[in-house]
Amino acid sequence: MSIKVRPIGLIKRFAQEQEIDLREGLTPRQLIRDLGIPEELRMMAFVNGKSRGLDEELRNGDDIKLVTLLTGG
């Protein structure tokens, strides 16, 4: 299956925008590991413009944005 990955913010240090072929049933969490993005970065996944849990399966043709969560105060 093929998906488009769009890293946003700090994640751009670890991954670039790209279209990649993946195995069926892959989740955003597994994709993050496969791309070598440190899991310590708190992230959200937006798939096809909608917030999606990191453990939900991706589908062929999905457009996924990985966004870091900012904290502070």
The CATH number corresponding to 2-68 among 3.40.190.10, 3.10.20.30, 1.10.1200.10, 3.30.429.10 equals 3.10.20.30
**Hey, where are the domains in the chain?**
2-68
Which stretch of DSSP H or E encloses residue 16? none
What are the tens digits of pLDDT across the range 1-16? 999 999 998 899 999 9
How does pLDDT run across 17-65, given as a tens digit for each residue? 999 998 889 999 999 999 999 988 889 999 999 999 999 999 999 999 9
Give 30's contacts (C-beta < 8 A, 6+ positions apart).
none
